[in-house]
Structure 1
Amino acid sequence: LDGHIDSILYGTMICPAPNIVNVNSQKQIKLLSLSDSAIDQIVKSNTGTIPYTIPAGTYKGVDYPVNGIATLCNIIVREDMPDDVAYSIVKTIAENFDRYPTVASAMSLAKKEEMDRDMGVPYHPGALKYYKEQGWIE
């Protein structure tokens, strides 16, 4: 290592991430952990992030855990989306929540009861109505 980053890959939804697997199939990779203090600082300043460790062995030749962060999934819609449409979207997601890890393994980190987590942006009134009905928000 010469002290320079050759590449950074961000925005992966699945672990192992196909883009990292692709690079790793051609070259040996080294994944770097974030320090505990960096993780704490990121999580405190970004409500949509959580600490996450990529397990050892997830990628070929990476036989150590890699400490970092994961970003929570959110849906951003136009503010003029009809309330009933936003409500239906949120309700459909909640009612089918247990199916998502079969589509994207990273979704196994998510919890249905945390769908109302404050992401730092206003809730759509339709989503807010559903969250209140579930008792997740007062």
Structure 2
Amino acid sequence: MKKLKIAGFLLIIMLLALAGCGSAQDDDADADSGNDNGGDKDSAEEVRVTLGTGGTSGTYYPLGVAMTEQIFSDVDGVSQSRAVSTGASVTNAQELSEGKYDAVLIQNDIAYYAVNGGTLDDFNDETVDNMAGMTSLYPEDIQVVTTADSDIKSLDDLNGKNVAVGDQGSGAEANANQILEAAGITYDDITPQYMGFGDASQGLQNGTIDAAFITAGAPTSAIQELGANQDVNVLSLSDEVIDNLISKYSYYTERTISGDTYADYGQEEDINTVAVMAIMVVDSELPEDTVYNMTKALFENRDELEAAHDRGTDITLDGARNGMSIDLHPGAEKYYDEEGISAD
């Protein structure tokens, strides 16, 4: 009987020792994997990607939907992806900082100010410290639109008018402010109306506003929607205004939009203007492999972007780093290095 009791006692001791070893090994494995069960974005688990875009009548939204539904949804490391309509660039930067989005579409000028601070009041006191570049997309044209029967033929004619300048705090509104300044016009000289592109199009149709600033790749659906009801006139900027802008703000480039772009909507002449670059940025805490896979998938499925919007044809691997105003995420940089894509 004594022998049986001793054997049983030894067996219990051995089982407890093995359990302790197993627990230590599990703890070591968790430490090696970086998994502290806190749900941070550095864990090996798949992430859900929410992409902040812009208004539904702009260019960001249809491209963002194509990215999330047709491309990123099949990427290794992404369990789910969706695009949401937002107030666009400035809002996107602020809400990326707050963790509401994992990636956003944004103007390169707004991204620069978000990371570095500076001219825009929105980022003077607090910059965004979790933003990293993924890819440059296409030029975003600054379009000042009115109706063909309007007496507004140039920026000078905006004095005393009701002018839609974009959603308050948006990238479009920042552009409107800078362009008016370059023309010697302030908000005191006009009646600024803060509204998105779709609302601006409706306002022009019903006569509650006289002109609208729209920053988006041409052709822009808001202008096409207006043109479906009455002829449009997209103003050209003078050489002086363009020179003033480019000399003061390095991210602007001179741009000519062919008159054919809106020929079906009454536009008769080419449009001389400026553009910024639309870029895609991500939360810098997203895993390197995930962003690498997202970047790779984006350029291997460009046909989905081309089908979503005309500006999809402007998104090329060769131009992926052109106009990128902030540091790249290591995952995106790894992909470009493998493909031999250098900065311009």
Q: Does 1:55 align with 2:258?
A: yes
Tell me, in whole angstroms, the C-alpha distance in 1 between the residues paired with 2:271 and 2:289: 42
Q: Indicate if the aligned counterparts of 1:91 and 1:130 stay in contact, CA closer than 8 A.
A: yes
C-alpha displacement of 1:29: 2.4
Between stretches 51-60 and 75-84, larger displacement belongs to: 51-60
Give SS of 1:106's match.
Answer: helix
Which 5+ residue runs of structure 1 have no aligned equivalent? Answer: none
Mark the CA change 1:71 to 1:97 in structure 2 (over 3 Å): closer, same or farther.
Answer: farther
Mark the CA change 1:28 to 1:98 in structure 2 (over 3 Å): closer, same or farther.
Answer: closer
C-alpha displacement of 1:123: 0.7
Q: Does 1:30 align with 2:233?
A: yes
Q: 1:119 aligns with which of 324, 327, 340?
A: 324
Q: Which residue of 2 aligns with 1:11?
A: 215
Tell me, in whole angstroms, the C-alpha distance in 2 between the residues paired with 1:41 and 1:27: 33
Give SS of 1:111's match.
Answer: coil
Q: Which amino acid aligns with 2:255?
A: Y
Between stretches 2-11 and 125-134, larger displacement belongs to: 2-11
Q: Which residue of 2 aligns with 1:106?
A: 311
Q: Indicate if the aligned counterparts of 1:131 and 1:137 stay in contact, CA closer than 8 A.
A: yes
Q: Indicate if the aligned counterparts of 2:299 and 2:316 stay in contact, CA closer than 8 A.
A: no
Give SS of 2:259's match.
Answer: coil
Q: CA RMSD in A?
A: 2.6
Between stretches 95-104 and 124-133, larger displacement belongs to: 95-104
Q: What percent of counterpart residues are identical?
A: 25
Aligned length: 136
Between stretches 121-130 and 59-68, larger displacement belongs to: 59-68
Give SS of 1:117's match.
Answer: coil
C-alpha displacement of 1:7: 2.1
C-alpha displacement of 1:11: 3.2
Tell me, in whole angstroms, the C-alpha distance in 1 between the residues paired with 2:221 and 2:290: 33
C-alpha displacement of 1:46: 4.3
Give SS of 2:235's match.
Answer: coil
- Residues 69-128 of structure 1, C-alpha deviation per residue, up to 9 Å, x if partnerless? 343331111111111111111111122235533321123234321102242111111111
Q: 1:80 aligns with which of 273, 281, 285?
A: 285
Give SS of 2:282's match.
Answer: coil
Tell me, in whole angstroms, the C-alpha distance in 2 between the residues paired with 1:42 and 1:84: 39
Tell me, in whole angstroms, the C-alpha distance in 2 between the residues paired with 1:101 and 1:42: 31
Which 5+ residue runs of structure 2 have no aligned equivalent? Answer: 1-150, 164-209
TM-score by length of 2: 0.35
Mark the CA change 1:108 to 1:53 in structure 2 (over 3 Å): closer, same or farther.
Answer: farther
Q: Indicate if the aligned counterparts of 2:259 and 2:267 stay in contact, CA closer than 8 A.
A: yes
Between stretches 93-102 and 126-135, larger displacement belongs to: 93-102
Larger Rg: 2
Tell me, in whole angstroms, the C-alpha distance in 1 between the residues paired with 2:244 and 2:314: 21
> By percentage of residues, which structure has more strand?
2
